[in-house]
Amino acid sequence: MTQHLIIGGGPVATNAVETIRQFDAAAKITLVSDEPAHSRMALPYWLAGQVPREHTHTADAAYWQKLQVDARIGLRATQLDVPGKRVTLSDGSAVAFDRLLLATGSTPAPLPIPGADLPGVQHLWTLAQTESLLRIADAKPRPRVCLIGAGFIGFIMLNAMYKRDWHLAVVEREAHVLPRMLDAGAAAIVTQWLTDKGVALHCGASVKRITQSADGSKSVELDHGDKLDADAVIIGIGVRPNVELARAAGLKTDVGILVNDQMQTSAPQIYAGGDCAQAAVLFSDKPEVLAIQPTAVDHGRVAGASMAGQNVSCAGSLNMNVLDCCGLQCVSFGNLGTAQTEAMTISNPADNVYRKLLWQGDQIVGSIFVGRANDVGMLTDVGMVKGILQTQTPFGEWKKYLAENPFDIRRPYVATKVAHKLAQTTLLGRPAKARGYRFGNAQPTTRVGPFHGIYVNTQ
C-alpha cells in the first residue's frame, strides 16, 4: 500500500488528495497543515462581511474521513529526511512516506522598518490575521486603515475594506498602482477611479517608520515627510515561497522549489506545487513562481495524478490576475511586455476603458483589460483572449483584421477554432470533477439549462 504524505492545507493539497483518490482508493494518505484547510482567496469575502468565517473552509473532519485521510491539523513539518523518507513534525512525531507532496505555500514579505511590530500593524494572510483586523474594526465606527503595498494581493483586501466603507489610504513605492499587473496607462485609469472613490493614494513613496500614540492610533511616516493617521496598518508588499524545508533537505531550489512538468522535484519521490513551486509558465523561457489560485489547483491535480502513478504533465501555467478594484474591473494575462512584444492599445480614460493586446509575430502573448463590469466582466472578450493564450493560437491574417477592428475579438476567435481546441483539452486526460467539499454539505440550487449541453457535457 502506497503511503502518501502531503504538507499543506491549501488548494494544492485538497486537489491532490481528491485526484489521488480518483486513481487509487486503497492508498494511505496523511495530510499535515498548521491551519484548517481553507481558501486564502475567500478571506476577502469574510473580511467584507459577505460570508462567515466557516465559508472560507475547504475541508472539515467529515470530508477527511470520507476520503480516508489522516488529517493532522495544527502541526507543522520541521524536518525532511529525503533518504529515509520521513518527515518530522512540530510535536516531535515522524511520518514515513513513499511519495511526498510539498504544498507549503508562501509567506508575506516582512517590512523592515521601525514600528512594523506594533500591535495593529500586521499582514492580512491568515485566518487569525483576518480575525484580528475585524476585531480592530469592530472597536471603531469607521476605522482608518493604511495599506502598505498596492499590488494584486493588497488590492484584493482593499476592495473588501472598501465594501465596509472604511477610511482607506494606500502607500506604494513604485510609480503607479498594481505595477506587476498593469502598465502605466491602465494604472492611471485605476488611480483616478480610486481617487474619485475617496481612497488616498501615495505612489512613489516609501514608509520610513510607524509610531503609536497613547490611544493606540498609528502614524505612518513617509520618506518625503507626510504622515498618515491610521487605526490599523496592513502590510502587503509581496510574498515569499516557503522553501526552507526543501532547501534544508537538499532539494534543488531557486526562488521556489524547482519541479518538472509532472511536479517532481530533484528527488523523484517528492513533488511540489503552488506558491512554493517554480514551474513552467506559458510565454516564458524559464520556470517561474506563480502565486495564484488557478496555478495551485492545476499543480495539485497534476501532482496527485503523478503520485498515483499516472503519466500526466503540466505544459505550463498562464499568468493571470483578475481583480475587482472598488467597482472597476482589472484583468491581465500572460506576458505583459518585453522588447520583443508589439502592442495594440485602446485607451479612453474618460469612459474608464483600456485594452491592450501584446503580440509576438502573429500570436497574442499577453493582454490587459480595465473597465466597468459592462465593458469587461459582462463581455466574452476577456474569456476569449484567455482561451487564445491558453491554446497559443497563431492568428495569421486575422492579426491585421483585429488591428482594424479592435473590439471584434469574436470573429478571429471563431475563425481560428480556439473553442474547438479548448474543448479537446484536458489537464488529466479525463473530464474534471467538481470539488467534493461543500460547507454544510449544501448542494447547488441552480439548474443547467437545456442549451448548456451543446457546449459542455454536464453528465
Q: Which amino acid is at 51?
A: V
Of 15, 57, 62, the closest CA to residue 37 belongs to: 57
Q: Are residues 335 and 393 in the same domain?
A: yes
What residue numbers bound the domain in which 153 lies?
A: 121-237
Give a yes or no: residue 414 inside a domain.
yes
DSSP lists the bridge partners of residue 272 as 102
- Nine-digit cell at 106? 508562501
For the cut 70, the answer to whether the pLDDT of residue 287 exceeds it is yes
CA 60 to the chain's CA centroid: 22
Contacts (Cβ under 8 Å, ≥6 apart) of 244: none
The confidence score (pLDDT) of residue 355 equals 96
At residue 330, the 3 state secondary structure works out as strand
Mind listing the pLDDT tens digit for each residue in 358-411? 999 999 999 999 999 988 878 889 999 999 999 999 999 999 999 999 889 999
Residue 18 pLDDT grade (very low, low, confident, very high; cuts 50, 70, 90): very high
Q: Are residues 331 and 386 in the same domain?
A: yes
The confidence score (pLDDT) of residue 69 equals 98
* Average pLDDT of the segment spanning 265-288: 97
CATH number (domain holding residue 139): 3.50.50.60
* Average pLDDT of the segment spanning 33-49: 95
The confidence score (pLDDT) of residue 107 equals 97
Residue pointed to by grid coordinates 505555500: 105
Q: Are residues 84 and 167 in the same domain?
A: no
For the cut 80, the answer to whether the pLDDT of residue 316 exceeds it is yes
Residue 432 pLDDT grade (very low, low, confident, very high; cuts 50, 70, 90): confident
Buried-state track 402-435, b at ≥16 Cβ within 10 A, e below 16: beeeeeebeebbeebebeeeeeeeebbeeeeeee
Higher pLDDT pick, 442 / 73: 73
The confidence score (pLDDT) of residue 138 equals 93
Higher pLDDT pick, 273 / 455: 273
Q: Are residues 184 and 200 in the same domain?
A: yes
CB 208 within 8 A of CB 120: no
CA distance 395 to 415: 9
- Nine-digit cell at 21? 483518490
CA distance 41 to 296: 12
Q: Are residues 153 and 221 in the same domain?
A: yes
Residue 449 pLDDT grade (very low, low, confident, very high; cuts 50, 70, 90): confident
CB 83 within 8 A of CB 216: no
- Listing DSSP states for 236-293 in one string gives -S-EEE--HHHHHTT--BSSSEE--TT-B-SSTTEEE-GGGEEB-BTT-SS-B---SH
Q: Are residues 260 and 350 in the same domain?
A: no
Q: Are residues 213 and 194 in the same domain?
A: yes
Supply the pTM of this predicted model.
0.94
Residue 339 pLDDT grade (very low, low, confident, very high; cuts 50, 70, 90): confident
Residue 454 pLDDT grade (very low, low, confident, very high; cuts 50, 70, 90): low
Residue 457 pLDDT grade (very low, low, confident, very high; cuts 50, 70, 90): low
Give a yes or no: residue 222 inside a domain.
yes
CA 346 to the chain's CA centroid: 27
Give a yes or no: residue 446 inside a domain.
no
Contacts (Cβ under 8 Å, ≥6 apart) of 121: 115, 210, 218, 232, 233, 235
Q: Are residues 139 and 224 in the same domain?
A: yes
CB 201 within 8 A of CB 168: no
For the cut 90, the answer to whether the pLDDT of residue 65 exceeds it is yes
Mind listing the pLDDT tens digit for each residue in 187-206? 999 999 999 999 999 999 99
Give a yes or no: residue 50 inside a domain.
yes
The confidence score (pLDDT) of residue 160 equals 96
CB 303 within 8 A of CB 265: no
At residue 218, the 3 state secondary structure works out as strand
Residue pointed to by grid coordinates 443547467: 448
Helices (H) and strands (E) in the chain, counts: 12, 25
What is the rounded average pLDDT for all residues in the chain?
94
The confidence score (pLDDT) of residue 455 equals 61
The confidence score (pLDDT) of residue 326 equals 95
Classify strands 200-203 and 167-172 as parallel, antiparallel or unpaired: parallel
CATH number (domain holding residue 368): 3.30.390.30
Give the percent of the chain with pLDDT over 70.
Answer: 98
Where in 123-242 does DSSP place strands (E)?
144-148, 167-172, 200-203, 207-212, 218-222, 227-230, 232-235, 239-241
Q: Are residues 143 and 208 in the same domain?
A: yes
At residue 79, the 3 state secondary structure works out as strand
Residue 452 pLDDT grade (very low, low, confident, very high; cuts 50, 70, 90): low
For the cut 80, the answer to whether the pLDDT of residue 451 exceeds it is no
The confidence score (pLDDT) of residue 377 equals 79
Q: How many domains does the chain have?
A: 3
Identify the domain boundary among 307, 335, 354: 307
* Average pLDDT of the segment spanning 273-279: 98
CA distance 11 to 37: 8
CB 263 within 8 A of CB 314: yes
For the cut 70, the answer to whether the pLDDT of residue 240 exceeds it is yes
Q: Which amino acid is at 292?
A: I
CA distance 148 to 24: 46
Mind listing the pLDDT tens digit for each residue in 133-174? 999 999 999 999 999 999 999 999 999 999 999 999 999 999
For the cut 80, the answer to whether the pLDDT of residue 458 exceeds it is no
Q: Are residues 287 and 331 in the same domain?
A: no
